[in-house]
Amino acid sequence: MLLDVGIAVFDPGVADYEEGEQIYPEVRKAEARFMPRLLAEAMQNSGGWGAVRVVPGDQQITDLLVQGRINKSDGEELVLEILARDSRGVTWLDKEYSAHASRYAYNNTTRSTYDPFQAIYHTIANDLLRKQQALKTADLEELRLVTELRFARSFAPDAFAGYLETDRKGQHQVKRLPASNDPMLERVRSIRERDQLFVDTLQDHYNNFSGEMQDPYQEWRKLSYEEAIALQELQAESRRRLWAGGAAILAGIVAMGSSERSSRAAGNVAVIGGGYLLKSGLEKRNEAQIHVEALEELGMSLEAEITPQVIELEDRTVMLSGNVEEQYAQWRELLADIYAAEVGDLDLPATSSTP
């Protein structure tokens, strides 16, 4: 009765970001692969689930699919938007989670054993576990059956079209069952086992990926945290100096228009002083930009360190090229070819006996 879980690689949240936001696409893309692994570990540690796998995308058909979007991540604050649906199409979670890190979280002793935002993953895992525990045994049985039939329909839509029905909400329900000895269903189950084995090999990749990323990423987050705090202070100081300088210049201009000689002299001094304040404020703004560029350089170097590697399958001579997502798409196409070949062999006797 333990449900299998697929945690899709997160949406990095960089598609619509604006210039000036503290977002670094290279880092976000890496985080989108790193954070699902931490959530998977938190769920596995609860002992309340079957297989918990990180999967390349939302095309994976599993009992429960968890998707995430990174709305903010700068070392100081993490904001995740989580959507979890089971194979029936029932939504379990549609919620935003946020957490702040303290400077203590980036101490060397703490970083080696505890992620600065570990609490956010435990909170998500606990919320999902409560949802599962609220289900009845009949619901769990139906859910797992829907998963199998949806997987079968994805490979043989004509043969398995009549077993499920979809209501107006997009939720799937079992309409009728195939025979227990249905040979096509047996082939589908064999294909599904191969698919799960392949996804299991991807876990090694994601684990290695996370291990390689751990040290440089934590160092980046430590520096990002410090840079974010410094940036906020510099921006605040820059604004104060710009406002003070502008006010001084305006006051000086008004005083320069006075008929009294002393007032005009004071106005000149105020304009000059305001100009210096404005210049100082602009210099502080330039200094803040240097911090932003430093973060961008860190992000670029991090992305270069953790570029995904090509996966070679041990039991096949085919070569899957590209990143993990592209390789999995190629694998699904290969599975479809395998299924078609096996079902074709199955149909030969019936075809040959037809008059």
- Residue 308: which pLDDT band, with cuts at 50, 70 and 90? very low
Average pLDDT over residues 43-49: 93
pTM equals 0.74
Average pLDDT estimate for 317-329: 74
Q: Picking from 5-14, 183-192, 248-257, 339-348, which range would have the lowest pLDDT averaged per residue?
A: 248-257
pLDDT in tens, 103-118: 777 776 655 567 889 9
Question: What count of residues does the chain have?
Answer: 355
> How much is the mean pLDDT over the chain?
76
Least confident of 26-35, 154-163, 316-325, 339-348: 339-348
Confidence of residue 94 (pLDDT cuts 50, 70, 90): very high
pLDDT value of position 304: 46
Answer yes or no: is pLDDT of 311 > 90: no
pLDDT reported for residue 289:
54
pLDDT at 237: 56
Helix axes 183-256, 261-305, angle to 10 degrees: 160
Confidence check: pLDDT of 26 > 70: yes
Do 71 and 109 meet the contact criterion of CB atoms below 8 Å apart?
Answer: no
Whole-angstrom distance, CA of residue 262 vs CA of residue 301? 59
pLDDT for the residue 266: 47
Give percent of the chain with pLDDT exceeding 90: 29
Q: In the predicted model, what is the mean pLDDT of residues 325-350? A: 71
Contact between residue 30 and residue 303 where contact means Cβ atoms under 8 Å apart: yes
**Joined tokens for residue 7:** 């945690």
